[in-house]
Amino acid sequence: MTRTPVHRDGPLALDEGAVALAALTGPTGEELLDLALATAGLRRVDARVHEVQHRPGDGVTVGFVVDVEAPDGQRAQEYLHLSSTRGRDIPPDAPGVVTLQSADGRVVAWRHPHDPALPALAAACDPDALAALLPGDGPVTALELVGYRPLRRAVLRAERGGVVHWVKVLRPGGRGGADDVRDRHALLADLPVPTVTASTGDGLVVLSAADGLPLLDAIAVDDARGLELDALADLLDRLPAEAATLAPRRAWSDRASRYADAVAVDPALADRAAALARVVAEDVDLGPVVATHGDFHEGQLTVRRDPGGWAIAGLLDVDTVGPGHRVDDLACLLAHALALGDAGRVVAARWWEQAVARVDERALRVRTAGVLLSLAAGAVHRPGVGLSADALLALAEDLTACP
């Protein structure tokens, strides 16, 4: 495994991004990988970092592709996670979890798909177990893990009998759990949201597929001509008033300082990220509290072709619906469009002109910059995937430099 040196002048605080990343990809990480594999009688032959995820305020999680050897000499690949999480999501009796506690801090390890905070993930990744929950007959013929945030949530795409289903794996119970998600979909039944077809007490939710094509496809074809921001804002205005009484969630921009800390794992970007976080924290006119989506962007929308151009067909991922400010939904939409690079530049400019007629422009600039900062926090750990963290920070800086 490629090692990153760890300089030990005193006890490590493993929830600090740069230090945690160095420790998890160095000797501490190797020791944990070996301990986790030993629980299954496996020996590490080689390990490669696949993905790094930073949870602002709760450490870093690193995913490794590991070549292993069994006692009989057979070789295979395993996927393991190491995390410097403080462990709020991990039950003390979680099976298959290896914990290393030392002067360096606390680190946990597990073999995929046995995420200690997502007990339903193993069943969701097993076609036979999943078949007992999906509507229809016959075997599950396709199963793909399309999104995974360790210790938080996962999304899978499954096919059975030629019908597509979406499977969400969530932390069981409480806000954001399966019951909560089911209740939110019921609350939004008058909107074009998917239907919950099954759920389990340990955090698994099955959803019907949404109608239409991903909005991203329409943006790539012709800048989503015919779909104007007014239609998108009108969809948000259709969120029921009761949604504004749900438990609040912090907007992306409200966590700017934590995302700046995450970006700071690259020392060359640390000062710029910190300066942006200070700008995002400035007092601006956010407007009234209303029902909001909470994570409104092109990935959450499907569209169809009408005679007049593209029109909204479906609204996805309504787990985040609750009270907030309309400017934050619009800022999220615009930041994600800008983050598409050339593919989103034209549509972002068009939607921006329409957005400033609805919300305070300075607030829109600052809050869009805040979302771009959050995207930069992800990009700094995934070089080569989409715009770089440097490019995302530059977009945010351009926005906030304007009056």
**Domain CATH code at residue 235:** 3.90.1200.10
**pLDDT tops 70 at residue 17:** no
pLDDT computed for residue 389 by the predictor = 94
pLDDT computed for residue 54 by the predictor = 77
Residues 280 and 369: beta-carbon distance below 8 Å: yes
Residues 148 and 125: beta-carbon distance below 8 Å: no
Residue with more model confidence, 9 or 176: 176
Decide if 175 is inside a domain: yes
Residue with more model confidence, 10 or 276: 276
The tally of domains found in the chain comes to 3
Residue with more model confidence, 330 or 21: 330
Letter string b/e over residues 172-200, b meaning 16 or more CB atoms within 10 A of that residue's CB: beeebbbbbbeebbebbeebbbbebebbb
Alpha carbon distance, N-terminus to C-terminus of the chain: 48
Decide if 139 is inside a domain: yes
Q: How confident is the model at residue 267 (pLDDT cuts 50, 70, 90)?
A: very high
Same-domain status, 271 and 349 = yes
pLDDT computed for residue 259 by the predictor = 93
**pLDDT tops 50 at residue 139:** yes
Contacts of 268 (CB under 8 A, 6+ apart): none
**pLDDT tops 80 at residue 106:** no
Same-domain status, 265 and 166 = no
Same-domain status, 145 and 254 = no
Residues 267 and 393: beta-carbon distance below 8 Å: no
Angstrom distance (rounded) from CA 319 to CA 345:
28
The pair of three-digit structure tokens given for residue 137, joined into one six-digit string: 């007959």
Whose CA is closest to 148, among 114, 100, 182? 114
Decide if 6 is inside a domain: no
82-91, 95-104, 327-336, 391-400: least confidently modelled range: 95-104
**pLDDT tops 70 at residue 385:** no
Decide if 284 is inside a domain: yes
**pLDDT tops 50 at residue 386:** yes
Q: For residues 34-62, give the mean pLDDT.
A: 85
Same-domain status, 221 and 364 = yes
Mean pLDDT of the residues in the chain: 88
Angstrom distance (rounded) from CA 258 to CA 276:
12
pLDDT computed for residue 13 by the predictor = 47
How many other C-beta atoms can be found within 10 angstroms of the C-beta atom of residue 384? 6
* Per-residue model confidence as pLDDT tens digits over 163-209: 999 999 998 876 667 788 888 999 999 999 999 999 998 999 999 99
Decide if 98 is inside a domain: yes
Angstrom distance (rounded) from CA 56 to CA 255:
8
Same-domain status, 359 and 383 = yes
Q: Where is the domain boundary, 150, 179, 208? A: 208
Q: Where is the domain boundary, 111, 142, 158? A: 111
How many other C-beta atoms can be found within 10 angstroms of the C-beta atom of residue 207? 22
Query: For residue 247, which phi and psi values (nearest 5 degrees)?
Result: -60, 135
How wide is the angle at C-alpha 133 spanned by C-alphas 303 and 155, nearest 5°? 45
Same-domain status, 299 and 393 = yes
Whose CA is closest to 297, among 311, 325, 317, 279? 317
Cis peptide before 113 (omega within 30 of 0): yes
Whose CA is closest to 295, among 313, 320, 316, 314? 320
Residues 386 and 264: beta-carbon distance below 8 Å: no
Angstrom distance (rounded) from CA 393 to CA 7:
29
Q: How confident is the model at residue 3 (pLDDT cuts 50, 70, 90)?
A: very low
Decide if 330 is inside a domain: yes
**pLDDT tops 70 at residue 292:** yes
Distances from the Cα of 200 to the Cαs of 90, 116, 209, 297, in angstroms?
A: 19, 17, 19, 28
How wide is the angle at C-alpha 154 spanned by C-alphas 140 and 299, nearest 5°? 95
Q: For residues 291-315, give the mean pLDDT.
A: 95
**pLDDT tops 60 at residue 356:** yes
Q: Where is the domain boundary, 64, 93, 111? A: 111
User: CATH number of the domain that 130 lies in?
Assistant: 3.30.200
Same-domain status, 154 and 70 = no
pLDDT computed for residue 364 by the predictor = 98
Same-domain status, 67 and 157 = no
Same-domain status, 315 and 336 = yes
Same-domain status, 362 and 258 = yes
Pairing of strands 105-111, 98-102: antiparallel
Residue pointed to by tokens 């020392």: 267
How many other C-beta atoms can be found within 10 angstroms of the C-beta atom of residue 208? 15
**DSSP secondary structure letters along 212-252:** SEEHHHHHHHHTTTT--HHHHHHHHHTS-GGGGGSPP---G
pLDDT computed for residue 120 by the predictor = 94
Same-domain status, 138 and 72 = no
Decide if 12 is inside a domain: no
pLDDT computed for residue 308 by the predictor = 85
pTM metric for this prediction: 0.82
Residue with more model confidence, 181 or 101: 181
* Per-residue model confidence as pLDDT tens digits over 110-133: 899 999 989 999 999 999 999 999
Decide if 3 is inside a domain: no
Same-domain status, 195 and 147 = yes
**pLDDT tops 90 at residue 44:** yes
Q: How confident is the model at residue 2 (pLDDT cuts 50, 70, 90)?
A: very low
Residue span of the structural domain in which 281 resides: 213-401
pLDDT computed for residue 28 by the predictor = 79
Q: By three-state DSSP, how is residue 275 classified?
A: helix
